[in-house]
């Protein structure tokens, strides 16, 4: 076996293991689920579908996978790529045609970032469609780095501590969103995508916007990781070990009523130990 094949095998095993761990830890997939896999044509969603297809084969439960792509009518979008790829895999799929591109171009002034409006429109349409086809879960391709970046974006620009949870119920209760790649890092996903030769479809609506706040945060985090390898793993672990009493949110912890516990025995200074 060549060195490339060995590395590819290790990478594939790591991504599959991390996905299985995340799915188990957050009970993302249950027996009888119909999972709508949101496929954009990017490296993350291709990897997501790939690892879920494997999990479907080896898991002790039965669940259904349906791929859904939202054709946002961006100029030059290669409509034939995803249907050909999914047909070759034998994966059931739907192409949801919604001209959100025109709405974004109309509403967002030239030179302004389009991602916020674009993502809201896409999310709303996908939520509705998942309900229509009877999907019990929606699987998105967000990975560990996306979650960490979102955490710092919200802290720096929104003044709050929140990220992307690995599992989320929509505000109206009609959808459950899962992020099976929550434990996987972007570097591994990029390498795996290249090795697998996924037919990547670039986003020409926002892909050329280099000064996005997310890009600034991404570069900051990558600098931290280069200077101190493992730092992003530590940041992600901190999101799993939150201590409200050590922060400052009065809605999460009752700071106002904190006082001395009179039932506790008083401490006495032991001069012999000085």
User: Domain for residue 119, yes or no?
Assistant: yes
Residue 229 lies in a domain: no
Distance in angstroms (rounded) separating the CA atoms of residues 83 and 94: 9
How far is Cα 223 from Cα 212, in angstroms, rounded to an integer? 17
CATH of the domain at 112: 3.40.50.620
What H or E segment, with its residue span, contains residue 233? helix 231-239
60 contact partners, CB below 8 Å, separation of at least 6? none
Residue 240, domain member (yes or no) = no
62, part of any domain: yes
CA distance 138 to 127: 8
- Residue 158 phi/psi, 5° resolution? -115, -10
Q: Where are the beta strands (DSSP E) in 19-63?
A: 34-38
49 falls within a domain: yes
Question: Is 54 domain-assigned?
Answer: yes
By residue range, what is the domain housing residue 34?
3-222
* Helix ranges, 71-143 (H): 81-89, 100-107, 115-132
Question: Comparing C-alpha atoms, which of 217, 42, 54, 192 is closest to residue 122?
Answer: 42
Number of folded domains that form the chain: 1
Kindly state the DSSP code that residue 174 receives in the 8-state scheme.
Answer: S
- For the chain, 274 residues long, give each residue's pLDDT as a single digit of tens: 444 577 788 999 999 999 999 999 999 999 999 999 999 899 999 999 999 999 999 999 999 999 999 877 677 778 889 999 999 999 999 988 776 666 666 666 665 665 665 677 777 788 888 999 999 999 999 999 999 999 999 999 999 999 999 999 988 888 899 999 999 999 999 999 999 999 998 765 454 444 478 889 999 999 999 999 999 999 999 999 999 999 999 999 999 999 988 898 887 766 565 5
Residue 253 counted as domain residue: no
Global confidence as pTM: 0.87
Q: Is 270 within a domain?
A: no
Total count of residues recorded for the chain: 274
Both tokens assigned to 74: 């961006």
Tokens found for residue 226? 């280069």
Q: How many CA atoms lie within 13 A of 68 on its CB side?
A: 28
């Amino acid at each position: 076996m060549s060195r490339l094949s060995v590395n590819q095998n290790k990478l594939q095993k790591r991504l599959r293991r991390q996905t299985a761990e995340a799915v188990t830890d957050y009970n993302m997939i249950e027996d009888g689920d119909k999972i709508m896999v949101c496929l954009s044509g990017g490296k993350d969603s291709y990897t997501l579908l790939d690892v879920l297809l494997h999990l479907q084969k080896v898991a002790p439960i039965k669940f259904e996978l349906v791929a859904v792509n939202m054709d946002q009518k961006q100029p030059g979008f290669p409509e034939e790529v995803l249907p050909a790829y999914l047909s070759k895999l034998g994966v059931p799929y739907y192409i949801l045609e919604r001209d959100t591109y025109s709405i974004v171009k109309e509403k967002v002034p030239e030179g302004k970032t389009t991602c916020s409006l674009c993502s809201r429109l896409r999310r709303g349409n996908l939520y509705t469609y998942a309900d229509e086809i009877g999907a019990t879960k929606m699987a998105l391709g967000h990975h560990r780095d996306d979650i960490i970046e979102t955490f710092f974006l919200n802290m720096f620009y929104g003044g709050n501590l929140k990220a992307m949870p690995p599992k989320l119920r929509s505000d109206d209760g009609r959808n459950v969103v899962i992020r099976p790649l929550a434990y996987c890092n972007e570097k591994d996903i990029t390498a795996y995508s290249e090795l697998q030769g996924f037919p990547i479809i670039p986003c020409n609506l926002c892909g050329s916007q280099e000064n996005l706040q997310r890009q600034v945060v991404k570069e900051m985090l990558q600098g931290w990781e280069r200077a101190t390898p493992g730092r992003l793993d530590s940041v992600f672990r901190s999101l799993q070990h939150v201590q409200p009493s050590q922060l400052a949110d009065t809605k999460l912890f009752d700071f106002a009523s904190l006082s001395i516990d009179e039932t506790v025995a008083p401490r006495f200074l032991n001069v012999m130990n000085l």
